Amino acid sequence: MRVSQLFNPTLREVPAEAEVVSHQLMLRAGFIRKAAAGIYTHLPLGLRVIRKIEQIVREEMDAKGGQEVLLPIVQPAELWQETGRWDVYGPEMFRLRDRHEREFCLGPTHEEIITDLIRTEVRSYKQMPLLLYQIQNKYRDERRPRFGLMRGREFIMKDLYSFDRDQAGAMVSYQKMYDAYIRIFSRCGLKFRPVEADQGAIGGTGASHEFMVLADSGEAAVVYCPACDYAANVEQAESHPRPVPSENPTGGRKKVHTPGAKSIDDLSGFLNLPKSYLLKALLYQGDERVFLVLVRGDREVNEIKLNNALGGFVQLGLASRETIVKTLGVEAGFVGPVGAPKGMEIVADLEVALMNQAVCGANEVDFHFTDVVPGKDFKIDHIFDLRVVEAGEGCPKCGAPLEAARGIEAGQVFNLGTKYSKAMGATYLDENGQEQLCVMGCYGIGVTRTAAAAIEQYHDADGIIWPIPIAPYHCIIVPVSLKDEAVAETAEKLYREFLTLGIEVVLDDRDERPGVKFKDADLVGYPLRITVGSKALANGQVELRDRKSGQTDLIAVGTVAAHVRAFIHNALEHVGD
């Protein structure tokens, strides 16, 4: 491709709307343009990156026995009503009506559609395991579409669905996909980490892992153990309860006047007590039910764990001020479990059950109780692991201090059990002619998000630094001046030679100053630049520059193609090392 013909509108300025580097650079380097919030047009260079990621994904899915299909984007409401997800999905679902007023949605995911297919087409155990996948647009009307391709409302996903005879078979499929994902992200040249994950709205009963591309800008917080292989999304990370040493610092059971001490910080300062002696009591509302949720003052409630433990509400969140006042007769800040109204369900974190002299709100403005013993001075209805795990605390597997990292969720694998096959009646006949439910799994990779994540990981002040396997082109040839005939001719000759050798090459044949060409080449992030200038050429040489290391070598014109090929070959062989 010649740059003079390449549709690659670059921008000098950083677009104001772009908060993260990948979004800024994709706009500046002419990879995407916005059509509406979270909806983008992919320009030629951007699309090449996407196609490369898709190809890697496709090869690895096929290698595990996956078969590619293409499911409809427009899906009838009835299928979603069968699983109950027409309501559960809420405002994230794009809904529409046809001319007959029938309801449809634009597929945010495809469990319903594929289960509908399988229930009619799969009859016998002999037809399984079955692994079907597609690479296609997904539609989610995200509450906060942002960060460009990272969180779009229309985005490209690879989704594979596995159907097995039993749970053991489903776990074999799960392991296949887990292994394939390791290969995919390694082949893309990314630094990543698989972590234990929550199952979210897709839900199921078995295992789930997320594949996190590590980047400081990542929306997800991860904890991992440097000593063993434990790693989890903090949404999911198991806490290791640690009791607080008890040396009776609260001075015995009293009702103390704590004027204005509404927050844990206020109260800890006022009583001169570590936060770990205080009880944080929060009123939560899950659909129509309210709960008093207790964690230690130095801990945070993990709402995902809370919701899972309580059985999964459509909506779970802190109760409004009105609800607090109505149910407990007091303002937030002085709420506590002692003397809570009869029938109020009290849910406590594991560590709360270990406290033996806690301070808690007295359900009276400006008053707290000291030396309260949970389980004795008030009843606890449910004890669960409810809190957020933090870096520095003990690994639940081996006890070593956990470390924290941030990541971008680029993929997720789920064991779905029989959630969908049961709801939709996807059954088969086993060897004994008995009807059984198919056991399912689903496995997604955000293709467009992976492209953005790669930029978050690989960039510098000048632009993108593509890992070779997903770079839009491998190299760019830059003739410094077209007026110098020898330069122009050599550049052209090399370009043709590279094309014949199958090297993915771009020739910057524009009549621009070299500075402009270099800036654009760095911005787009071509892994290699071959500069043809009159000085070096006088010695029969051209300059070969590695975008990543910045290393520049003078190479004889006759051998530059071999060098470039070796470089690319080497990079593709050793990705992920």
Part of the chain binding ligand ATP (CB under 6 A), chosen from 98-106, 150-158, 399-407, 424-432: 150-158
Classified as helix, coil or strand, 149 is helix
Q: How far is the CB of 90 from ligand ATP (least distance, A)?
A: 13
Residues of this chain, 354-393, that bind ligand ATP according to CB under 6 A: none
Residues of this chain, 180-209, that bind ligand ATP according to CB under 6 A: 200, 202
Classified as helix, coil or strand, 71 is coil
Alpha helices in 8-43 (DSSP H): 21-28
Q: How far is the CB of 154 from ligand ATP (least distance, A)?
A: 8
Of 163, 238, 162, whose CA–CA distance to 198 is shortest? Answer: 238
Q: How far is the CB of 403 from ligand ATP (least distance, A)?
A: 22
In the list 142, 238, 393, 497, the residue contacting ligand ATP (rule: CB under 6 A) is: 142
- Burial class from Cβ neighbours inside 10 Å (0-12, 13-18, 19+) for residue 300 reads middle
Nearer to ligand ATP among residue 181 and residue 277 (C-beta): 181
Residue 557 is classified by DSSP as: G
Instruction: Record the tokens describing residue 408, joined without a space.
Output: 């971008």
Instruction: Record the tokens describing residue 357, joined without a space.
Output: 């002299």
Residues of this chain, 157-176, that bind ligand ATP according to CB under 6 A: 157
The answer to whether 445 touches 181, Cβ cutoff 8 Å, is yes
CA of residue 254 relative to chain centroid, distance:
48
Q: How far is the CB of 44 from ligand ATP (least distance, A)?
A: 21
Q: How far is the CB of 160 from ligand ATP (least distance, A)?
A: 11
Nearer to Mg ion among residue 224 and residue 414 (C-beta): 414
Of 357, 384, 383, whose CA–CA distance to 371 is shortest? Answer: 357
Q: How far is the CB of 410 from ligand ATP (least distance, A)?
A: 5
Q: Which residue is nearest to ligand ATP (CB)?
A: 446
Q: How far is the CB of 222 from ligand ATP (least distance, A)?
A: 13
> Measured between alpha carbons, how far is 285 from 291 in angstroms, rounded to an integer?
6
Q: How far is the CB of 442 from Mg ion (least distance, A)?
A: 10
List residues bridging with 330 in a β-sheet.
Answer: none
Classified as helix, coil or strand, 372 is strand
Widest Cα–Cα separation across the chain = 94
In the list 155, 230, 334, 420, the residue contacting ligand ATP (rule: CB under 6 A) is: 155
- Burial class from Cβ neighbours inside 10 Å (0-12, 13-18, 19+) for residue 91 reads exposed
Part of the chain binding ligand ATP (CB under 6 A), chosen from 355-363, 403-411, 521-529, 566-574: 403-411
> Measured between alpha carbons, how far is 47 from 501 in angstroms, rounded to an integer?
23
Nearer to Mg ion among residue 412 and residue 541 (C-beta): 412
> Measured between alpha carbons, how far is 221 from 307 in angstroms, rounded to an integer?
19
Nearer to Mg ion among residue 47 and residue 88 (C-beta): 88
Tally of residues, the chain: 577
Q: What is the CA radius of gyration of the chain?
A: 29
In the list 42, 64, 110, 151, the residue contacting ligand ATP (rule: CB under 6 A) is: 151
In the list 49, 388, 410, 530, the residue contacting ligand ATP (rule: CB under 6 A) is: 410
Binding site for Mg ion (CB under 5 A): 412
Concatenate the DSSP letters of all residues of 89-116 into one string. TGGGSEEEE-TT--EEEE-S--HHHHHH
User: Residue 115 touches which of ligand ATP, Mg ion, none (CB < 5 to 8 A by kind)?
Assistant: none
Q: How far is the CB of 236 from ligand ATP (least distance, A)?
A: 12
User: Residue 387 touches which of ligand ATP, Mg ion, none (CB < 5 to 8 A by kind)?
Assistant: none
In the list 169, 396, 444, 463, the residue contacting ligand ATP (rule: CB under 6 A) is: 444
Q: Strand (E) positions, 373-471?
A: 382-384, 403-417, 427-429, 435-437, 439-446, 459-460, 463-464
User: Residue 1 touches which of Mg ion, ligand ATP, none (CB < 5 to 8 A by kind)?
Assistant: none
User: Residue 140 touches which of Mg ion, ligand ATP, none (CB < 5 to 8 A by kind)?
Assistant: ligand ATP
User: Residue 157 touches which of Mg ion, ligand ATP, none (CB < 5 to 8 A by kind)?
Assistant: ligand ATP
User: Residue 28 touches which of Mg ion, ligand ATP, none (CB < 5 to 8 A by kind)?
Assistant: none
Residues of this chain, 203-242, that bind ligand ATP according to CB under 6 A: none
In the list 60, 111, 164, 409, the residue contacting ligand ATP (rule: CB under 6 A) is: 409
Of 522, 503, 527, 531, whose CA–CA distance to 575 is shortest? Answer: 527
Nearer to Mg ion among residue 200 and residue 339 (C-beta): 200
CA-to-CA separations, 130 to 164, 252, 436, 440, 476, in angstroms, rounded: 7, 65, 15, 10, 43
- Provide φ and ψ at 220, rounded to 5°: -95, 140
Part of the chain binding ligand ATP (CB under 6 A), chosen from 329-337, 353-361, 446-454, 551-559: 446-454
User: Residue 22 touches which of Mg ion, ligand ATP, none (CB < 5 to 8 A by kind)?
Assistant: none
Part of the chain binding ligand ATP (CB under 6 A), chosen from 58-66, 149-157, 244-252, 516-524: 149-157
Q: Is 152 in the site for ligand ATP (CB under 6 A)?
A: yes
Sign (positive/negative) of CA torsion 264, 270, 276, 281? negative
The answer to whether 18 touches 457, Cβ cutoff 8 Å, is no
Nearer to ligand ATP among residue 409 and residue 508 (C-beta): 409
- Provide φ and ψ at 209, rounded to 5°: -130, 145
Residues of this chain, 6-25, that bind ligand ATP according to CB under 6 A: none
Q: How far is the CB of 135 from Mg ion (least distance, A)?
A: 17
Nearer to Mg ion among residue 446 and residue 467 (C-beta): 446
Q: How far is the CB of 200 from ligand ATP (least distance, A)?
A: 5
User: Residue 64 touches which of Mg ion, ligand ATP, none (CB < 5 to 8 A by kind)?
Assistant: none
Helices (H) and strands (E) counted in the chain, each on its own, are 15, 31
Residues of this chain, 78-107, that bind ligand ATP according to CB under 6 A: none
- Burial class from Cβ neighbours inside 10 Å (0-12, 13-18, 19+) for residue 512 reads middle
- Provide φ and ψ at 172, rounded to 5°: -65, -45
The answer to whether 436 touches 134, Cβ cutoff 8 Å, is no
Using CB under 6 A, list all residues that contact ligand ATP: 109, 140, 142, 151-152, 155, 157, 200, 202, 409-412, 444, 446, 448-449
